[in-house]
Amino acid sequence: MPVFVFPGQGSQFPGMGKGLFDEFPDLVREADAVLGYSVRDVCTEAGGARLAMTRYAQPAIYTVNVLTYLRFQRKAVLPPSYLLGHSLGEYCALFAAGAFDFATGLEIVARRGELMGDAGGGAMAAVVGLTAERIEATAADSPGGGIWVANLNTPDQVVISGSAEHIRSARDHFLAAGAARYVVLPVSGAFHSPLMAAARTRFAEVLAAAPIRDLRIPVVANLTGELHADAGLRASLAAQICAPVRWADSIRLLLRRGETRFIETGARRVLTPMIEKIAA
């Protein structure tokens, strides 16, 4: 059985999901009722202005990822051995694992997008060519501080978060430490960092009220790189907003368990190259 993986924010693009919406009219109507706007319009409008905004991007990506997964299962019927997703994609994995129905997951994700979108003023950058340990040390002694590791994606690709000023000014510091590339990402917040603390607190309240069921299929947690425990699921998801996404650790866990087949289920292929690099 394969492992299904779901991408998160950054995988969106104008026109995504165009071929999906007509295949699942009932779920699209359900999504529009939950969101109060047309998810199809957000995904397909020219220029993708709303897709560039966290509050719209997160529910749109969730919808497209889930519909892509359902279409795959409609055609192939391949039960997953494990499920995992990158950041926002974790909610798609939880849907596939039976933690909640489509609408409940979308309500949770929409609120998450609003809260994270409201926590503006931050920035993120991808650092390539240094080990995670070296990046953590370089972030710790960066001038002015205020930089944290956000995504541990591959052995030599890590994303950092901080204030927009600190992220912009840290470029030379990381290049001097030996980074091959330093790329500021097109996001408006310092996701997966302590600057998301207020969003985490409010999101914990959302999760406390959400009907979440026990998992039918094992899901790897971004927070720990280990399997989710049903009892700690809500706490893990709330903490994830402020903590690093341990993607490389998550994939290593599954490789150690003998998993070799990974199917990426989303608008476009962004996680597969990371998995191939981790496996190599």
pLDDT score recorded for residue 42: 97
Catalytic residue at 166?
A: no
Give the percent of the chain with pLDDT over 90.
Answer: 91
Specify which residues 126 forms β-bridges with: 159, 183
pLDDT score recorded for residue 144: 81
- Please write the tens of the pLDDT for every residue from 43-56: 999 989 999 999 99
**Cα 83 to Cα 20, 91, 265, 268, distances in angstroms:** 22, 10, 11, 18
Would you place residue 187 in the very low, low, confident or very high pLDDT band (cuts 50, 70, 90)? confident
Per the CB < 8 A criterion, the answer to whether 226 and 253 are in contact is: yes
Q: Where are the alpha helices (DSSP H) in 77-163?
A: 89-96, 102-118, 132-140
The amino acid at 261:
R
- Flag whether pLDDT at 145 surpasses 90: no
pLDDT score recorded for residue 143: 84
- In angstroms, the CA 81 to CA 219 distance is 9
How is the chain split into domains, by residue range? 3-119+194-279, 122-184
86, 166, 173, 192: the catalytic one is 192
The amino acid at 236:
S
- In angstroms, the CA 172 to CA 179 distance is 9
- Flag whether pLDDT at 159 surpasses 90: yes
- Flag whether pLDDT at 121 surpasses 90: no
What are the structure tokens assigned to 78, written together?
């391949």
CATH code 3.40.50.720 for 122-184: no
The mean of the pLDDT values for the chain is 95
Neighbours of 275 (CB within 10 A): 20
Range of lowest pLDDT (131-135, 227-231, 274-278)? 131-135
Q: Which residues contact 53 (CB under 8 A, 6 or more apart)?
A: 117, 188
Would you place residue 94 in the very low, low, confident or very high pLDDT band (cuts 50, 70, 90)? very high
Can you tell me the mean pLDDT for 267-275? 95
Q: Topology of 3-119+194-279 in CATH?
A: Malonyl-Coenzyme A Acyl Carrier Protein; domain 2 (3.40.366)
11, 86, 87, 250: the catalytic one is 87
Can you tell me the mean pLDDT for 118-144? 91
Strand 3-6 vs strand 262-264: parallel, antiparallel, or unpaired? Answer: parallel
Burial of 191 (0-12, 13-18, 19+ CB in 10 A): buried
- Please write the tens of the pLDDT for every residue from 214-243: 999 999 999 999 999 999 999 999 999 999
- Tell me if residue 80 falls in helix, strand or coil: coil
Can you tell me the mean pLDDT for 189-207? 96
Residue 200 parent element (H or E): helix 197-209
Give the percent of the chain with pLDDT over 70.
Answer: 100
Residue with the two structure tokens 């409010």 = 202
Residue 128 parent element (H or E): strand 122-128
Can you tell me the mean pLDDT for 173-196? 94
- Against a cut of 0.75, is the pTM above it? yes
Angle, CA of 106, 112 and 118, to the nearest 5°: 135
**Cα 208 to Cα 175, 196, 216, 237, distances in angstroms:** 43, 18, 20, 11
pLDDT score recorded for residue 200: 97
Per the CB < 8 A criterion, the answer to whether 51 and 78 are in contact is: no
pLDDT score recorded for residue 2: 96
pLDDT score recorded for residue 222: 98
pLDDT score recorded for residue 101: 98
Nearest in space to 87 (alpha carbons), one of 61, 49, 126: 61
